[in-house]
Structure formats: C-alpha cells, structure tokens
Structure 1
C-alpha cells in the first residue's frame, strides 16, 4: 500500500474523530503546529523514520514535545501511529489531514505569480473573483517573478490562466513561427 493511501486513511480517521468531538478547528490548528515543528526539525524526522529506535522511545520524544501543548486526542493519535509502526509517515499524515480539512471545508488554494508584489486591494479583488468563479473559499498566495515583465499567472488546482506579458509574447512568437514569418 502506498504512503499516500495510508496517510490518507489515518488523516480521514482523525478528521472523523475531530468532527465527532466538534473540535475540527482546534485539531487543525494543532496539526498545523505539529507540521511546523516536524518540518523545522530534521533530527526529529530522522528519529521517527529510524526503524532501529523503539516505539517506546519515539512515544517518549513525541510526548515530551507535544504533551500539554496540543490536544490530548492528537497525542493519543500519535501514540497509536507509533504503536502501529507508522511514525515514519507522521508528517505525511499531518499534511494529508490539512489537505482533507481544506476539502471538507471547501477551501481551495490558489497562487498568483506576478512581476511585482500585488497590493492588498488587488489580492483581495482577485481572491473574490476566483472564489466567485469556482464557488469555493480561496486562499491566495502571491509569488513574485520579475521575468514575467508584467501581468500575472493564476493557478488554481490544475487550471492556469496566463495573463502575463511574457506569456503573450510567447504566444505571439509561436503564432509567427507557425505562420512561417
């Protein structure tokens, strides 16, 4: 079974549990905090992935880091993961939880790449326009790429709209090449 499939099943289980306990928002915040800790500590990830280190040691490390700082439900969930031999994919499960949370809540992540940073007003207007188009809540991230010259490129999932000057110049060049000019 693939890591993605296993991570997805555990994440779905945690979402179901959090929904039963009416604590989905709190669990999501705690999981995001866990992701930050895991991503910023390569030694912790190495310990969790090391098959030589016992499950008891891994549980001690996780309890020392998170007990009292995040929901006891999540700490218990981590204990179950370690006991089932899934400590190595803890980060994958946490990231999948956030992805599935966004799906449950109808939140879509989009990126807008522009030649210069967008103003807050432009970002808000674009965010509202995308949300109206796809009928979902949108979290918009602005990436600056000066090679675009001007304009922007919006990516939502697997869809992309290229309204950049560089993109238009490339289309024009292809048109001339195809016309034999």
Structure 2
C-alpha cells in the first residue's frame, strides 16, 4: 500500500467516523471500487492530464454525484485533482483497516484445495473468532496446489495446516538434519 493511499484513506476514515458516516462511506467505496475495476478505461479517462480537470470533475459528478455522500464525492475529486485516482484501492484498504480496528472486526482468508461447505466455514469462523476475540469476516479461496488441508491468513497471522505446508516443513527439517 502506498503512503498516499494510507494517508488519504485514513483521513477519509477519520472524517467519516467523526460525522458518523463510516458505514455508509465504506459501502460506497466498495461499490465505487467495483465500478473502477469493471471500467478501467473510465479510471484512465479520469486520470488523463490531457483532459481538462474541469471536464474530468464534471464526469464524476454526472456518473456518481447522485449516489455518493458529499464527503466521498469530494474525496474522489481531490484524488483526481492530485493525480492520485489510481491510489483509490489503497485508500479503500486503509479505510477498511481503520474501520475494522474500530469495530473489532478481523479479516481472514481461508485457502483450501476444494471449497468448504457452509457448515465447515461457520465452524472455522467460530474458531477464528475465539482465537482473535473479534468478529471475523471470512473469505474463501480454492487452490489445488495446497493439495489438502486448510491455510488461514488472519490479519497477517498465518495458520498453515495444508499438506503443502507440512511437506515444506518436513523438507526443511530433513535439509537441516542432512547438513
């Protein structure tokens, strides 16, 4: 994450929290990121210095003005004016991180070779909530390369119970013993 993304994302969060709009703006930011991800040419157009700034700001007003809070719309315009619109996803990451810290929420990514059932996900979520003492937002990813088992990244802390991870640990021990 860039320094600009950190700085601007935290600034927007501080303002949103002060104005009691953090829930609204977080939802809006995720929707706007989806729009930007689906329409990279739009981001390019809004970032293009050869297009007059006034026109770029007007395009944002027309496309997003009626669906965003005034603070969020102004935030996007500031990013455009500063040539930092491509930092938007970094701003969202920082905003979400600050939001999660204030609301006792932890992000976790579970990686398995095959998708887990709803019951398995719920059981894992409950265990992770006991470990972290926070409400856990669990995202699931499948990766056949891990062979089997489960690998969980909980706020940067890695719990690797995958077959691939165990084989890697075993290989290290064998290498250390042989040397």
When normalised by structure 1's length, the TM-score is: 0.84
Partner of 1:24: 22
What count of residue pairs does the alignment treat as equivalent?
Answer: 178
How far, CA to CA, are the matches of 1:33 and 1:93 in structure 2?
14
Q: Residue 76 of structure 1: CA displacement?
A: 2.5
SS at match of 1:60: helix
Partner of 1:164: 162
Q: Residue 44 of structure 1: CA displacement?
A: 1.3
Give the conservation status (yes or no) of the 8 Å contact 1:32–1:98: no
Partner of 1:94: 92
Partner of 1:115: 113
Give the conservation status (yes or no) of the 8 Å contact 1:153–1:162: yes
Give unpaired runs (5+ residues) of structure 1.
none
**Which range is displaced more, 169-178 or 158-167?**
169-178
Partner of 1:11: 9
Q: Residue 178 of structure 1: CA displacement?
A: 4.2
Give the conservation status (yes or no) of the 8 Å contact 1:49–1:89: no
Give the conservation status (yes or no) of the 8 Å contact 1:148–1:165: yes
CA RMSD of aligned residues (A): 2.3
Give the conservation status (yes or no) of the 8 Å contact 1:38–1:91: no
How far, CA to CA, are the matches of 2:86 and 2:164 in structure 1?
43
How far, CA to CA, are the matches of 1:89 and 1:145 in structure 2?
29
**Residues 170 and 21 of structure 1: CA distance in aligned 2, closer, same or farther (over 3 Å):** closer
Partner of 1:127: 125
Partner of 1:70: 68
Report Cα offsets for 1:108-158 as digits up to 9, x if no partner.
211111122111111111111112112222111222222333211112233
Give the conservation status (yes or no) of the 8 Å contact 2:9–2:90: no
